[in-house]
A and B are shown apart, each in its own frame.
Chain A
């Protein structure tokens, strides 16, 4: 059913309009901590699809979701972190960005992971995340410094993050000092 639903507000309306999705948030995050890894990933994928297609239904809970995502954006599990970044990106793009600041820092810390470059979906998720945040708000100097500290010949995601920020109106001046 999810696959058949188009983006909310698109030219073509959804085949079946899903309602009250925010009521599933707690259950989805409980499943994302289930012992079964397939369930964990399915739960994250579901929330990613929901937040992409129906972001407005999560607007009131955006802060709560950002808080949950903070702990998932870590080096412990690259795949789950990529899903969490994608969910945060969907919400930041369409909902209030307030409350997502810790996610920015966690993403910057995560970008220093040397294993990211081999995971294409994670690279894309990180790039999209930084692009979306920069388009919406000035990214703090703390995030830029965190990325700068982690630059190495191996941790290329950190370099890419700095490049994306420097390419944005809000971040250009801050990165120029570097």
Chain B
């Protein structure tokens, strides 16, 4: 659960940015995307989860731009942090599955099999 109202606001804001990013390409709105990415390092599990979902939605808005960022982040993350990105990939699979095909051999299968 979100521990306080500040975390709840953060969670809600991040989710909204994500949905907005699905409608509009946010590749030129770095501050908004950075807000979402910052959520991955939150101590609050709901904020983290919101960031995972939101980043997936942002990727759907411009897969070519953001998918490479995602896999860079996955490679740089510690093993126990990689689980956060599974939810991100789930959102992409839900809304734009075809864009992931090119990444099957570039780390996607490794991530999924390590988290299975």
Interface residues of A (CB under 8 A from B): 148, 151, 153, 156, 159-160, 162-164, 166-167, 175, 178
Contact B22 A163 (CB under 8 A): yes
What 0/1 readout, one digit per residue, does chain B (32-68) give for beta carbons within 8 Å of chain A?
0000000000000010011001000000000000000
B15 to chain A: which residues have CB within 8 Å?
151, 153, 156, 159
The reply to whether A151 and B20 form a contact with Cβ atoms under 8 Å apart is no
Interface of A is mostly: helix
Give the contacting residue for A153; candidates B19, B20, B22, B53; CB below 8 A: B53
Q: For residue A15, give the distance in angstroms from its CB to the closest CB of chain B.
A: 37
A167 with B49, Cβ < 8 A, contacts A159-B15, A159-B16, A178-B13 known: no
Task: Scan B10-24; emit 1 where CB is below 8 A from any A CB, else 0.
Answer: 011101101110111
How distant is A149 from chain B, measured CB to nearest CB, in Å? 9
State A167–B53 Cα separation when bound (angstroms): 19
Q: Nearest chain-B residue to A131 (Cβ)? A: B23
Q: Quick check: B49 and A162 within 8 Å, CB to CB?
A: no
